[in-house]
Amino acid sequence: MVAGIVWLGVFAGLLFSVAGSAAGGVGSETATFAGGCFWCMEKPFEALPGVISVTSGYTGGVTTSPTYENYTAGGHLEAVQIVFDPAVVTYQQLLAVFWRQIDPTDPDGQFVDRGPAYVSAIFYHTEAQREAAELSREELAKSRRFAKPIVTPVRAATPFYPAEEYHQDYYKKNPLRYRYYRNGSGRDQFLEKVWGSTANDSSKTASADLRKRLTPLQYQVTQEEGTEPSFKNEYWDNKAAGVYVDIVSGEPLFLSTDKYDSGTGWPSFAKPISPEAVVERVDRRLFSVRTEVRSAKANSHLGHVFDDGPKPGGKRYCMNSAALRFVPLDRLEEEGLGALRKYFK
């Protein structure tokens, strides 16, 4: 390989403490996978709702603090370490995405990258992960999807060392170089042949689980940019104190203290919990230009924002109840949102 998923700002630390940080927050878990070039392994996992962070790095070796220049000498593999919320995305789902990124029959590397540093491996952090990984590997072998034996090992996790900053999110920082490398590596061609059109689409891998977990209306709103009926939704007239979170990921989005009666029949807020909690983009559907609002982490469609709200901000964040879940004030600590209680004093 040639050398070389969200929340920012002052409030980012608070949001990470709520949903689980890269160091492993309340309720979060860690998974580690080696699949050859770590540039190619970040994007599929970062696209999954419930994934908090994906870090490229080195693991499996015997030396400490390896660098890109010497990690192979220490026996390390290129790998990605994933911090995720198991209430939103399961370890089994991560395994399903992992298998769809690699050639598990190759004992000598992955695609154009050859050598021990590029072999595939699953590094388990708990006994439950070991059992799940071994079962997943057995099921893949029984499926006869591959003509050759599955050789990807399941190994106990060893110290993980983050790679240099220029390797992190390489596909975002250097999109042209990334696409050139990816297209020339042979990875996508192989995955397309084995898995078809869903090979590298982790969102499709997770969609079946979302359909099971969400109601039809919740799925239509968050995943298909639908709109629920006005005045006939759960929170339009809710006056209780608490926090509104993303129905998909549980990320905190709005405070009840910023909610007001807009007369529209949908829950409306003067502002989000922080500017980084949501993402706004132009929506040109329905023969008009509007500003769509999506959650920053799960990328759920929430609603739209308009310029007819109360002063001083003048904004009306008109949301769908189906995209939200309300956490009452007396349950903030129970759901890991205790850091937000200070906003209700």
- Give yes or no: residues 259 and 190 share one domain: no
pLDDT higher at 37 or 18: 37
Strands of 324-328's sheet in order across: 252-255, 242-246, 324-328
User: Helices 91-99 and 202-213 meet at what angle, rounded to 10?
Assistant: 150
> Which is nearest to 102 in space by CA: 162, 181, 38?
38
Residue 242 near residue 257 (C-beta atoms within 8 A): no
Instruction: Work out how many domains the chain is built from and give that number.
Output: 2
Domain holding 310, by residue range, is 218-344
- What is the spatial distance between Cα 83 and Cα 19, in angstroms, rounded to a whole number? 11
Helix (H) or strand (E) holding 30: strand 29-35
Q: Tokens 């700002």 label which residue?
A: 9
- What is the spatial distance between Cα 102 and Cα 188, in angstroms, rounded to a whole number? 10
CB within 8 A of 19, min separation 6: which ones? 25, 28, 52, 85, 249, 250, 251, 252, 297, 336
pLDDT 10s digits, 94-126: 999 999 999 999 999 999 999 999 999 999 999
Q: Is the pLDDT at 17 greater than 60, yes or no?
A: no
CB within 8 A of 236, min separation 6: which ones? 230, 265, 266, 267, 321
Annotated active-site residue in 1, 5, 31, 37 = 37
With cut-offs at 50, 70 and 90, classify the pLDDT of residue 14.
Answer: very low
- Give yes or no: residues 170 and 73 share one domain: yes
pLDDT 10s digits, 183-197: 889 998 999 888 875
Residue 299 near residue 323 (C-beta atoms within 8 A): no
Active site residue 318: yes
Question: Helices (DSSP H) in the chain: which residue ranges?
Answer: 12-19, 39-46, 91-99, 127-142, 170-173, 175-185, 187-195, 202-213, 216-224
pLDDT 10s digits, 162-188: 999 999 999 988 888 888 898 889 998
Give the pLDDT confidence score for residue 207 in this predicted structure. 63
Among residues 213, 240, 266, the one where a domain terminates is 213
Active site residue 40: no
Give the pLDDT confidence score for residue 95 in this predicted structure. 93
- In a domain, residue 7? The reply is no
Strands of 51-59's sheet in order across: 154-156, 120-124, 29-35, 77-84, 51-59, 161-162
- Average pLDDT of the chain is 87
Burial class (CB in 10 A: 0-12, 13-18, 19+), 317: buried
CATH code, domain carrying 239:
2.170.150.20
User: In this structure, are strands 324-328 and 316-319 parallel, antiparallel, or unpaired?
Assistant: unpaired
- Give yes or no: residues 32 and 156 share one domain: yes
> Using the 8-state DSSP alphabet, how is residue 295 labeled?
E
- In a domain, residue 185? The reply is yes
**Helix, strand or coil for residue 110?**
strand
Mean pLDDT, residues 257-286: 92
- Give yes or no: residues 21 and 142 share one domain: yes
Annotated active-site residue in 253, 318, 337, 340 = 318
- In a domain, residue 315? The reply is yes
Q: Tokens 């829950």 label which residue?
A: 267
- What is the spatial distance between Cα 39 and Cα 154, in angstroms, rounded to a whole number? 21
pLDDT higher at 257 or 284: 257
CB within 8 A of 25, min separation 6: which ones? 16, 17, 18, 19, 52, 83, 336
Q: Is the pLDDT at 20 greater than 80, yes or no?
A: no
- Give yes or no: residues 234 and 190 share one domain: no
Neighbour tally for 165: CB within 10 Å: 9
- What is the spatial distance between Cα 297 and Cα 340, in angstroms, rounded to a whole number? 18
Among residues 213, 247, 273, the one where a domain terminates is 213
- In a domain, residue 317? The reply is yes
- Give yes or no: residues 112 and 43 share one domain: yes
Percent with pLDDT over 70 in the chain: 88
Q: Any idea which of 51-60, 206-215, 262-271, 314-323 has the lowest mean pLDDT?
A: 206-215
CATH code, domain carrying 111:
3.30.1060.10
- Give yes or no: residues 250 and 338 share one domain: yes
- Give yes or no: residues 57 and 206 share one domain: yes
pTM of the model: 0.57
User: What ranges make up the beta strands (E) of 190-345?
Assistant: 242-246, 252-255, 259-260, 268-269, 278-283, 290-295, 301-306, 316-319, 324-328
Q: Is the pLDDT at 58 greater than 70, yes or no?
A: yes
